[in-house]
Structure 1
């Protein structure tokens, strides 16, 4: 059989063998030999032909041979070709979707829903589930309260949508008394209740650009406090909830103590994983990072399957599943996709 490179299209026989090899390895975690592969692929070809195809796949970088075995395992490139071209996704049944929908019904704060979603992702996939918290300034403002703290700091308590209560500490230009803050609270609550938080910020920016000399002291105070409260958060550190990290210990390729410690440290630090998840915010549909594709050495040997979740077309955050590159992509992808849709629906204040 003629060889092929990673840039050329694999012929039908090579694709069939690669698909069978990846599926076998995902199930067993053991390197796949040519005899096992021939039996699994159901091809009526000689063992020599199988060996030749495997040699070509190895030369092209789709599979490799571990030192301790004559069998082959998929590389990151092999998994990528499998996911992009060979995978048959198993859609969730209506019963599965209904179960998820019931468990993600909105009956509390957004943070409770995020906790539920991460636990559901972990439980359904037996991997680690991760969900970023919804963007801070999404939703409808219901009420604002302020409490004075020390050194010009103010505790702001926001009620958003029907359920969400958020606490934020802001730094103001001067000290405010409890009476002044109550006056500011009354003004903001009466003027902006029922408005989208993003539009409140735009209205305040417009006021800031007006002639400050014509503003009364109340309005100047409102702008001082509120512009900090409703400031654009795009540079703030977002946060996430992760569940099921210990599931990763059950996979032999991740069971090395040092590897696990580094991975758990990365979850704790959050920075690298957040940067990776941020790359999914603007993408449509399910995104998959396989091993070295993440750009972070700590995630070598690990795959992330992610999707942004949205309400009324606006991206609120990202959720996904973290596991070894040897994961059941056909099951995991639809679970991530459906969970993202249901979480976005549950967080929609108008649903």
Structure 2
């Protein structure tokens, strides 16, 4: 049992209602919620003094905080987590939101990047946050690999894929390479790589090197091993992390938060931690919510992230979709939108 759920189970009905109404009021307005406001909305007739006592108890438990001298309270990170896990009512995707998302995927556009860009723009518009769409890696099988020497310390590997796509990646080869060692390395890779995707090759090449170590020239073996890094994410020729709606974060930020928002923008511009972003989505089934410092990628920005993976026809996770914004996101509405979008994208890519 988490700390939040334990606290929730120990609270009486009045405390629960006061806590829930403070959080809902804060998420709606972004402003601290005072006792006088609550006296008008409580299900039972309660004095402002009684509500203030309950709010003080909740503050003592670490669930509420007083940002100003005024009597108003806002939820802490622990309070938001407890609300999201135990009290939040998740809505269904509204017909207008569903129609807006469906429309982005209703065209005959063949380019996956363009489609995902449209999805990201629609998602940021609907949620008023910034959308993050992690596009799938290119998974076409390899048809041919070739090494080309550019200088003693620079070489080019040319990857030709079965779908006709060609990628040229510059890397630093081991010293002493000769034309013959490059040919031998290319011949070896072509023998083991044809018909496989880059993902397939990661573990396969290492096993093949071990099995044929005696047959492979030392220089060629060094070249193949140094090229293993190229089978990772380096040198992608298209934008994998698509970010849309940055202006929404600026519009929602108070003056004191602008520096943190700029830090977030810097992270997104550098496209750092793409692998970590996917790991966040893979860490659980369906939609996951990270509030403030729970999010190891964007904790400096004081933001919340709602993220979900999407899958291909083989139920393999190939990408992720998320919305990032201030901690006072409308979680109950955004969670089903992110979930629906991830399912929609997964279905569309599977059909292609």
By the TM > 0.5 criterion, same fold? yes
1:303-342 to structure 2, matched below 5 A, reads 303-311=304-312, 312-342=314-344
**What residue is the counterpart of 2:148 in the other structure?**
148
- Are the structure 2 counterparts of residues 146 and 91 from structure 1 closer, same or farther at C-alpha, using a change threshold of 3 Å? farther
Deviation at 1:51, TM superposition (A): 2.0
Deviation at 1:167, TM superposition (A): 4.7
Q: Contact (CA 8 Å) 1:249, 1:260: kept in 2 or not?
A: yes
- Are the structure 2 counterparts of residues 78 and 214 from structure 1 closer, same or farther at C-alpha, using a change threshold of 3 Å? closer
1:216-231 to structure 2, matched below 5 A, reads 228=227
**What residue is the counterpart of 1:44 in the other structure?**
45
**What residue is the counterpart of 2:81 in the other structure?**
80
Q: Contact (CA 8 Å) 1:34, 1:47: kept in 2 or not?
A: yes
- Are the structure 2 counterparts of residues 139 and 16 from structure 1 closer, same or farther at C-alpha, using a change threshold of 3 Å? same
| TM superposition score normalised by structure 2 | 0.77
- Are the structure 2 counterparts of residues 247 and 222 from structure 1 closer, same or farther at C-alpha, using a change threshold of 3 Å? same
Which runs of 5 or more residues in structure 2 are unaligned? 1-5
For the residues of structure 2 that align with 1:168 and 1:252, how far apart are their CA atoms? 40
For the residues of structure 2 that align with 1:231 and 1:119, how far apart are their CA atoms? 31
**What residue is the counterpart of 1:21 in the other structure?**
22
**What residue is the counterpart of 1:103 in the other structure?**
104
Please say which of residues 98-107 and 65-74 is displaced more in the overlay.
98-107
Deviations 1:19-42 (A, max 9, x none): 221111112122111121122333
Q: Residue 31 in 1 paired to residue 21 in 2?
A: no
For the residues of structure 2 that align with 1:323 and 1:39, how far apart are their CA atoms? 30
For the residues of structure 1 that align with 2:134 and 2:145, how far apart are their CA atoms? 26
Deviation at 1:292, TM superposition (A): 2.4
For the residues of structure 2 that align with 1:57 and 1:49, how far apart are their CA atoms? 13
Deviation at 1:71, TM superposition (A): 1.1
For the residues of structure 2 that align with 1:71 and 1:230, how far apart are their CA atoms? 54
Q: Residue 168 in 1 paired to residue 169 in 2?
A: yes
1:105-124 to structure 2, matched below 5 A, reads 107-124=109-126
Which runs of 5 or more residues in structure 1 are unaligned? none
- Are the structure 2 counterparts of residues 159 and 117 from structure 1 closer, same or farther at C-alpha, using a change threshold of 3 Å? farther
**What residue is the counterpart of 2:292 in the other structure?**
291
**Root-mean-square deviation over aligned CA pairs:** 4.0
For the residues of structure 2 that align with 1:299 and 1:258, how far apart are their CA atoms? 8
Could you say what secondary structure the match of 1:247 adopts? helix
- Are the structure 2 counterparts of residues 262 and 211 from structure 1 closer, same or farther at C-alpha, using a change threshold of 3 Å? closer
Could you say what secondary structure the match of 1:283 adopts? coil
1:56-71 to structure 2, matched below 5 A, reads 56-71=57-72
For the residues of structure 1 that align with 2:271 and 2:193, how far apart are their CA atoms? 38
Q: Contact (CA 8 Å) 1:6, 1:61: kept in 2 or not?
A: no
| TM superposition score normalised by structure 1 | 0.77
Deviation at 1:149, TM superposition (A): 5.5
Please say which of residues 320-329 and 291-300 is displaced more in the overlay.
291-300
Deviations 1:301-323 (A, max 9, x none): x2111112222222223321111
Q: Contact (CA 8 Å) 2:139, 2:198: kept in 1 or not?
A: yes
Could you say what secondary structure the match of 2:41 adopts? helix
